[in-house]
Structure 1
Amino acid sequence: MTVRSDDTTLEITRVFDAPPARVFAAWLDLGQFQSWIGPEGIDCEVELLEPRVGGRYRLVMNTPERVIPVSGVFRSIEPCRRLVFTWGWEGDAIRQSLITLTFREIGGKTELTLRQEGLGSVESRDGHVRGWNSALNKLDHYLSGGARR
């Protein structure tokens, strides 16, 4: 795993023991996405997933302290190669960011690079680094045949 960042951008690179088609599908298939999205220990419900350019998604993270709705729009979908979408905490128009996922095959495995731009502050960036690393741990477990959540 590699993590790079500046004040308002993060970049995380992970390698998964699955081909790009499988990793890509885990982001756009409702049943698969629901099985792993969200940080470890947080209940996350996917309420909407429209996997097409211009399509929307909405998920709700239920933490012990609060309910956190997140939504966005798919900007670009290049099957098994690249996925670009907005990410915003509902009720906070200022905190819209852009996520670019890049999928690269390496010997039957997938190198996934997640880049999130426009986070607004170092604190926001650091929180998102923790959250995405935790969610990617769940994705790795899911792709390895682990049980839901």
Structure 2
Amino acid sequence: MSRTDRVGRVIAAPPAAVYGALLDRESLEAWLPPDGMRGRIERWDPRPGGGFRMVLTYLDPAEAPGKTSEATDVVDVGFAELVPLERVVQQAVFEADDPSYAGTMTMTWRLAAAGAGTEVTVTATDVPPGIGRADHEAGIASSLANLASYVETPD
């Protein structure tokens, strides 16, 4: 049975700013890696049917071994759907020898105006069984916190 993980957060920025950060290469490199990681995008094609390849490197590989190598997770992400100011649907495939990380995970980033901000809900479906639920949800929450810090403007 496939697993679904979901995390949400209200970000104090308009939907246009949040949507823009989801489709800008430099922005994604800055905010998408969760705490304890840094990211580098190797390929970038921001259109439906396009996508990107990101190398995530653990700052301390002893804390969490990587899926692709001892210190890295490499993920190929395709843009399945782009609906301006509403949602971005990604299909992610990890590069890993371990079959527990195999398969295509769908990540849906939904945006909804919430007062002066944006409610962002990330739903991951078909999560590979090798990815622990608590760790995955914590990683998504960390990325959302990074996104908020990246796009929010001080009062």
TM-score, scaled relative to structure 2: 0.82
Q: Is the 8 A contact 1:8 1:122 kept in 2?
A: no
Deviation at residue 106 of structure 1 after TM alignment: 1.4
- Is 2:13 aligned against 1:8? no
1:95-146 C-alpha deviation (Å, 9 max, x unpaired): 3200111110111210011000001338533221111111111111111359
Structure 1 unaligned regions, length at least 5? 1-5
Name the SS of the counterpart of 2:49 in structure 1: coil
Q: Is the 8 A contact 1:28 1:49 kept in 2?
A: no
> Which runs of 4 or more aligned residues in structure 1 lie more than 4 Å from their structure 2 counterparts after TM superposition?
none
Of all paired residues, the percent bearing the same amino acid is: 28
Provide the C-alpha distance between the structure 2 equivalents of 1:85 and 1:41, rounded to a whole number of angstroms. 23
Aligned residue type for 1:130 = A
2:35 aligned residue (35, 40, 63): 40
1:68-108 C-alpha deviation (Å, 9 max, x unpaired): 11112111100010111101211357232001111101112
Deviation at residue 49 of structure 1 after TM alignment: 2.4
What's the RMSD between the two structures over aligned residues? 2.1
Give the alignment of 1:66-145 within 5 angstroms. Answer: 66-91=71-96, 94-121=102-129, 123-144=131-152
Provide the C-alpha distance between the structure 2 equivalents of 1:74 and 1:119, rounded to a whole number of angstroms. 17
Deviation at residue 56 of structure 1 after TM alignment: 1.8
Aligned residue type for 2:88 = L
Aligned residues: 141
Aligned residue type for 1:31 = E
Q: Is the 8 A contact 1:37 1:138 kept in 2?
A: yes
- Is 2:33 aligned against 1:25? no
Provide the C-alpha distance between the structure 2 equivalents of 1:36 and 1:123, rounded to a whole number of angstroms. 21
